[in-house]
Amino acid sequence: MKHPVRLERQSGVAVIAIDNPPVNALSTAVRRGILGALEACLSDERITAIVLAANGRTFPAGADISEFGQPLQQPGLPDLCDLIEASDKPVIAALHGTTLGGGLELAMAAHYRVAHEDTQLGLPEINLGILPGAGGTQRTPRLVGVDAALDLMLSGKPISAQKALEIRLIDGVVGDDLRETVKALAADTDETKPTRDRRDCLADGAHYMSRVSERRRQNDHRFAAKKIIDCVESALLLPFDVGIEVERDAFSECLASRASAGLRHAFFAERRAPKFPELKQASARQVDRVGVIGGGLMGSGIVIACLSAGLPVTLVEEGETGVNAALDRIGEHYKRAVSTGRMTQGQGTSALNYLNLTTEIDALRDADVIIEALPEDMVLKEAVFAKLGRLAKSGAVLASNTSYQNVKDLADAAGRKTDVVAMHFFAPAHRMKLVEIGVTEDTDATAVVTAHSLAKALGKIPVRATAQPALLGNRILQGYRKVADRLLLSGATPAQIDTAMRDFGMPLGPYEAQDLSGLDVSWALRRRNTDWPAPLDLELADRMCEAGWTGQKAGQGYYVYPDGRRTGEPNPDMLKMLADERADKERSVFAFTGQDIRDRLLCSMINTGAQLLEEGVASCASDIDVVMLHGFGFPREKGGPMHQADALTPHHVARLIEGLAEVDPDLWSLSPLLSKLATERQKFEQL
Ligand code: CAA
């Protein structure tokens, strides 16, 4: 095995070069390598200065996250940082790439830091529910002051090398030849190491304490945020070594927290999802032009996503009215981007220059990927796919943004089964990061990989699914809504259910969400298609649509929105309608707690997720989590429904579902896979 740390000597300067692709994470082997190299340098009298650098694309991007949760192997990163700081030979860190987390902590322990001008530096631990645990909470405020330190640690966002220089996080920025420049600096450094007065940043203690209190008053709900603020306060009030002890305890508490487990799961799940098996079988075709059919809300969002990624688009709309409406929608987006300073006028104009808006479907002849984004009307879609089958160029990918129809039928209509996939975006498509790629048994690997590469080029996370109506996310959503409706029928109110799910961490409850997106969309689907989605067993939604209460845009739905307000009050007419339906159906009414509601809705997501795995629609449990995190706003610190199942244990979830099935046997049917995991005391992540 290649050694992950190399030591080179050139006259009096030693270079310790970390070499652990892809991101030089500070794994046990790397830490051991650095320790060995440092000890060799310190005991070698010929060496007068040490350069700490990294090969490949970056200086370490942090501790090795995959080692978290396992017993800590020596040496720990804090010990290495101490050894570097205590070295009587000057240590200069040469930074490039993404110098993050433990990587930056290692650099902060060095006596000087010089970065390449393109370097991004940051302390993103908060995104994983932890804090800088190798002395970072104590060294950062001493180096850059409390404000900048809290900004770095609480935002988790990286800063540029130039900004890092301004706040004195680093000592120099260089253009080319970082390694050679730093080696030359090291050769020139006089041999006495600079001692840093660890009390420096306490000079204006009262000011800094007020900044700490201010941050505390902002009441950041994240556990790690509270701990970071505590640690920075310790840096102000306590000697360095005691502050380090505070940091160590806080780090252990954060690492053991459920939020950190959920966030770390999300990190790896997002990176696992795009690893489609087809990537080993085929290469993507070049995509020089995208075609989009339908410039409604979804189609326009897809067009904007493509234009913003610099991809030319041909958008086909019906008639002049359709063309003008689409142009208004897309133009409005760029106008707003320019007026809010997110884009210059020139950038907005040049993005629009890549758009060819037409009523002629023939204009799609030269498109490499064509995405149909029409309303969920199968007759219309099949007619369009039949045309595409005849006119699209050979090898073009024919994709449908459908969330409900069977893509196999569209492939049949096109007569080009190998070229057809689902590419299901989430609204608004230019902002939401998720794209479900639905693959039929006939889809060619090249078509799959080309759709995947387009999704990546748009900055999206592609998740693979076997093409089935509703793919992954909407299958789960359907079960979720069904269980919510049953709760309504059994005594809960929309407001109770929405509050319970917001308390769980969802951005919106199921009824607020329907009011926002419009109840008429799924009403139209139910009327058009008797098989899918399955008819509701609560008639309330249909009755509401018949009365014109289609949600926010109509001024009333499950809530009323007087004077165009965006937050509603419970709709008394809807509650009366619900009470009438309960009475007609002679339903007994029960009182539900928030926990009852959350248990049922979470169990529904988990049970449907398990069914999707059984059916082979989802490739792995963590893909379902990515879909729920990025498509439906499932709270990230909870990791996703399948991660929650593992955290609660499948055994516990299965017992809950069995209990629910006793009361509502027509609604609940325990997934055999979940039952098996429960019996064998296994977890989804072990599948
Ligand atoms: N540990 C382990 N693996 C890591 C890693 C880390 N810190 N950072 C990235 N990786 C892995 C990814 O899982 C991925 O692996 P696969 O190829 O097997 O999927 C690979 O490196 C490449 O990562 P990306 O796909 O994310 O590549 P990118 O170029 O899009 O982004 C990055 C690179 C900006 C470094 C991004 O990976 C990232 O943000 N990483 C996390 C950085 C981080 O959070 N650091 C702090 C760690 S915690 C810490 O350091 C605590 C401490 O105090 C000691």
CB 313 within 8 A of CB 337: no
Residue 532 has pLDDT above 70, yes or no: no
pLDDT band of residue 376 (cuts 50, 70, 90) is: confident
Asked if the model's pLDDT at residue 516 lies above 70, the reply is yes
Q: Which of 67, 85, 105, 436 is catalytic?
A: 105
Q: Residue 405 has what pLDDT?
A: 85
Kindly indicate the confidence band of residue 204, based on its pLDDT and cuts at 50, 70 and 90: low
Q: Report the nearest atom of ligand 1 relative to the CA of 275.
A: 19
**What was the pLDDT predicted at 70?**
87
* Average per-residue pLDDT for the chain: 94
Ligand 1 geometric centre to CA of 121 (Å):
13
Residue 528 has pLDDT above 80, yes or no: no
- Which has the closest alpha carbon to 459: 583, 600, 571, 304? 304
105 among known catalytic residues: yes
Q: Which one of 268-272, 340-344, 584-588 scores highest in mean pLDDT?
A: 268-272
Residues contacting ligand 1 via CB (< 6 Å): 22-23, 25, 61-66, 77, 98, 100-102, 105, 124-125, 128, 130, 132-134, 136, 271
324: Cβ contacts below 8 Å, ≥ 6 apart: none
615 belongs to the catalytic site: no
Q: Whose CA is nearest to atom 30 of ligand 1?
A: 271
Residues 6+ apart with CB under 8 A from 116: 95, 96, 161, 173, 174, 175, 178
The residue whose C-alpha atom lies closest to atom 41 belonging to ligand 1 is 61
What is the rounded distance in angstroms from the CA atom of residue 260 to the CA atom of residue 223? 9
Specify whether the CB–CB gap between 354 and 312 falls below 8 A: yes
Q: How far is the CA of 18 from the centre of ligand 1 (A)?
A: 15
Which residue has the CA at smallest separation from atom 38 of ligand 1? 61
Question: What is the whole-number distance in angstroms between the Cα of residue 677 and the centre of ligand 1?
Answer: 31
Among 39, 67, 125, 191, which one carries the catalytic annotation?
125
Q: Whose CA is nearest to atom 22 of ligand 1?
A: 22
The DSSP symbol for 55 reads: -
d(CA 326, CA 594) in angstroms, rounded, equals: 42
pLDDT band at 1, cuts 50/70/90? low
Paired strand residues for 92: 51, 112
For the cut 70, the answer to whether the pLDDT of residue 195 exceeds it is: no
Q: What is the pLDDT of residues 446-497, one digit of tens each?
A: 999 999 999 999 999 999 999 988 999 999 999 999 999 999 999 999 999 9
Angle between helices 650-663 and 641-648 (to 10 degrees): 100
Q: For residues 539 and 541, what is the distance between their CA atoms, to the nearest angstrom?
A: 6
Q: How far is the CA of 394 from the centre of ligand 1 (A)?
A: 39
Query: pLDDT per residue over 251-269, tens digit each?
Result: 999 999 999 999 999 999 9
Split at pLDDT 50, 70, 90, the class of 191 is low
Residue 140 three-state SS: helix
Q: What is the pLDDT of residues 18-29, one digit of tens each?
A: 999 999 999 999
Q: Distance (Å, rounded) from C-alpha 587 to C-alpha 513?
A: 26
